[in-house]
A and B are shown apart, each in its own frame.
Chain A
């Protein structure tokens, strides 16, 4: 925590931020999350530092920060002092780079953040520090109030008071199922365990198209660690594991740095804030299986076994990691905790509606102008998210459906656009909140093909333990494939529906139980598309290639 006070006229190392000695008039926040980084944001960062220095702007800072949200328009640079966002600042694009430097020097340019609907509808709790702080500097996190909540919890609150606060906040698990977090914590807290308990942070995030947890881990890793430590204090655990998939090397790197820095600064480890409470965190890297996000499979994987789910009960809260009571929460759930403790349950529960309180992060993708990461109060309508925040469909495309919940979720048609996005409404509409993937589809999308895509995913990711999921998803995929090739009969559609019900009812874990959802929901809202493939031998969206009937007949592949 020395840099701020030490004069640093020139940067010492390439990756160091440019921080002026005196007061800062303007600062460039260069997004360094995976999306922008893949578009050479690091080069952009270097160029900006050079240009700022060359112009002799001594009161301007250039910082590396986490996700700024508008991922599709990267590389992104924000100037918080003037409230402006510069998008598509490509490395080597002199005009764009100079535009940013002009903006830092007091000029206009960029888009105003406050009035941009992409930003103005958002409420940032989980993403509060994303894009504000350097994820690789604990000082930055501390400077914005980081670890104050942990200190507050361990020094001024009893574990029971922390539990009460979390319970009253009304937050529910953001990993998919929406189980009340306070209830889960209380269960773990109540379970006696002479040989310890564990807190596990679930950062497996295997849904296709989802990158919420990744962005949080890459943009504000300390926030997650602080949430885990508070959880540990509340439930009586002194050890934590963060389970991250190997495909997220940047998240792993930043977490590793974060843990080291936090321990070095005495924010984690033994005797936190000079109390008797200690908490340490280890990272476990998963080999990228979707099913390893399921809590019992995740536990098996951390234990070094094959990542397959086991029947519950016993729930991890009673018998988890190495048979000990274990609290498993999602990254986003845990990242919300410091704010809940810091600002209080009342503040948090004022956001949202009904039984869905607080905010939710979504990865908005597909046929939408502003693809990226957003955080909204629960209860906003789909229309507000897709058309106001998302800016509608590109090129005036026609909206067809929005998919939430990934491979266990469903597709909602235009008629449901005014539905509120909360746990109950989504479930009623045949989808789920899921972990936060939200894919917008235009009228060039074939809904049978969408269902087939997700079934293909499930069949490949099924762990193979239980029969309904292992063989059922493969058979459902086969039937969907026949429909998209124009070979299926009405009997086969009936077969698909019956199989869907059976797989949902009898599968062991959520992967199998949820796998029929994309099929069931597309059948519910887009049945005519299925019928067109079957009866009229036609794909209305023009996506599927129909096979000639005569050839299929000659090969005995269809009944006459």
Chain B
């Protein structure tokens, strides 16, 4: 039997969830034994592969680039996991939803900049009107809330998924 194929992806988040993943310490070794890590911040692969069993998604969907990536992830993933509050609720990236992308860009790149203020050019992916949670855009199978979710929780979710169990996150973790 081949090992389950695991991917992780980091969209509009702070990388804290990936840090928490690394916080599993020696348990990481056990996990890497049991899966093939086929994509993510931990491995150097440029294209999102086909036929992935589990993808952990960190971050909200905030830009056209996030949107393109999440569609690709969904097409190629059996079990999609929203990892952390940004993926689950849009959290901090969603704070701009109150005022809209134009105002936030202006504030960040013009008003609060002293040297060479300018708006980002076409090289930077365009922001969507709203920063949304992942499940607002594609179907999500497992939700792991927390900012960030604890290493213990991530471990138990991965352990469940690798062993073919359905992880239960309701009521076991702090929400938000």
Q: Do A and B come from one complex?
A: yes
Q: Which residues of A are interface residues toward B (Cβ below 8 A)?
A: 554-556, 559-560
Bound-state Cα–Cα, A26 to B130, Å: 71
Asked if residues A559 and B128 are in contact (CB atoms below 8 Å), the reply is no
Bound-state Cα–Cα, A554 to B136, Å: 14
B111 contacts the other chain (Cβ, under 8 Å)?
no
A residues near B71, Cβ cutoff 8 Å: 560
Bound-state Cα–Cα, A556 to B67, Å: 7
Asked if residues A556 and B139 are in contact (CB atoms below 8 Å), the reply is no
A residues near B67, Cβ cutoff 8 Å: 554, 556
CB proximity to A under 8 Å, residues B63-85: 64, 67, 71
Bound-state Cα–Cα, A556 to B129, Å: 9
The one of B61, B64, B132 that contacts A554, using a Cβ cutoff of 8 Å: B64
Bound-state Cα–Cα, A113 to B124, Å: 76
* Residue-wise interface mask of B (90-103) relative to A, using a CB-CB cutoff of 8 A (1 in contact, 0 not): 00000000000000
Chain B, interface size category, equals 10 to 19
Asked if residues B138 and A559 are in contact (CB atoms below 8 Å), the reply is yes
Asked if residues B137 and A559 are in contact (CB atoms below 8 Å), the reply is yes
CB proximity to A under 8 Å, residues B126-150: 128-130, 132, 136-139
A residues near B132, Cβ cutoff 8 Å: 556
Asked if residues A555 and B139 are in contact (CB atoms below 8 Å), the reply is no
Bound-state Cα–Cα, A554 to B127, Å: 11
List 16 A-B pairs, Cβ < 8 Å.
Answer: A554-B64, A554-B67, A555-B128, A555-B129, A556-B61, A556-B67, A556-B128, A556-B130, A556-B132, A556-B136, A556-B137, A559-B137, A559-B138, A559-B139, A560-B71, A560-B138
Bound-state Cα–Cα, A124 to B68, Å: 68
Bound-state Cα–Cα, A555 to B132, Å: 11
User: Looking at A554, A556, A560, which has the most chain B CB atoms within 10 Å of its CB?
Assistant: A556
B residues near A560, Cβ cutoff 8 Å: 71, 138
Bound-state Cα–Cα, A559 to B138, Å: 6
Bound-state Cα–Cα, A555 to B131, Å: 10
CB-CB nearest in chain A for B138: A559
Distance in angstroms from B74 CB to nearest chain A CB is 8
Q: Which residues of B are interface residues toward A (Cβ below 8 A)?
A: 61, 64, 67, 71, 128-130, 132, 136-139
Distance in angstroms from A549 CB to nearest chain B CB is 15
Contacts A554-B67, A555-B128, A559-B138 given; 13 further ones with Cβ under 8 A? A554-B64, A555-B129, A556-B61, A556-B67, A556-B128, A556-B130, A556-B132, A556-B136, A556-B137, A559-B137, A559-B139, A560-B71, A560-B138
Distance in angstroms from B97 CB to nearest chain A CB is 13
Distance in angstroms from A482 CB to nearest chain B CB is 12
Bound-state Cα–Cα, A40 to B130, Å: 52
Top 5 closest pairs, chain A to chain B, by CB: A556-B67, A556-B137, A556-B128, A556-B61, A559-B138
Bound-state Cα–Cα, A560 to B138, Å: 8
Bound-state Cα–Cα, A559 to B134, Å: 11
Distance in angstroms from A548 CB to nearest chain B CB is 15
Bound-state Cα–Cα, A554 to B67, Å: 8
A residues near B64, Cβ cutoff 8 Å: 554
Bound-state Cα–Cα, A203 to B67, Å: 54
Bound-state Cα–Cα, A465 to B71, Å: 41
A residues near B130, Cβ cutoff 8 Å: 556
Bound-state Cα–Cα, A554 to B61, Å: 12
Distance in angstroms from B30 CB to nearest chain A CB is 36
Bound-state Cα–Cα, A559 to B61, Å: 13
A residues near B129, Cβ cutoff 8 Å: 555
CB-CB nearest in chain B for A558: B137
Bound-state Cα–Cα, A547 to B99, Å: 23
Bound-state Cα–Cα, A554 to B65, Å: 11
B residues near A554, Cβ cutoff 8 Å: 64, 67
Bound-state Cα–Cα, A556 to B101, Å: 14
B residues near A555, Cβ cutoff 8 Å: 128-129
CB-CB nearest in chain A for B129: A555
Distance in angstroms from A478 CB to nearest chain B CB is 13
Distance in angstroms from A352 CB to nearest chain B CB is 52
B residues near A559, Cβ cutoff 8 Å: 137-139
Bound-state Cα–Cα, A559 to B128, Å: 15
Bound-state Cα–Cα, A560 to B136, Å: 11
CB-CB nearest in chain A for B66: A556
Distance in angstroms from A247 CB to nearest chain B CB is 34
Distance in angstroms from A256 CB to nearest chain B CB is 48
Bound-state Cα–Cα, A554 to B128, Å: 9
Distance in angstroms from B174 CB to nearest chain A CB is 22
Distance in angstroms from A123 CB to nearest chain B CB is 56
Distance in angstroms from A62 CB to nearest chain B CB is 63
Distance in angstroms from A485 CB to nearest chain B CB is 14
Bound-state Cα–Cα, A559 to B137, Å: 5
Distance in angstroms from B48 CB to nearest chain A CB is 16
CB-CB nearest in chain B for A560: B71
Distance in angstroms from B163 CB to nearest chain A CB is 29
Distance in angstroms from B112 CB to nearest chain A CB is 27
Bound-state Cα–Cα, A256 to B136, Å: 57
CB-CB nearest in chain A for B139: A559
Bound-state Cα–Cα, A106 to B132, Å: 76
Distance in angstroms from B140 CB to nearest chain A CB is 11
Bound-state Cα–Cα, A554 to B129, Å: 11
Distance in angstroms from A196 CB to nearest chain B CB is 51
Distance in angstroms from B71 CB to nearest chain A CB is 6
Bound-state Cα–Cα, A554 to B126, Å: 11
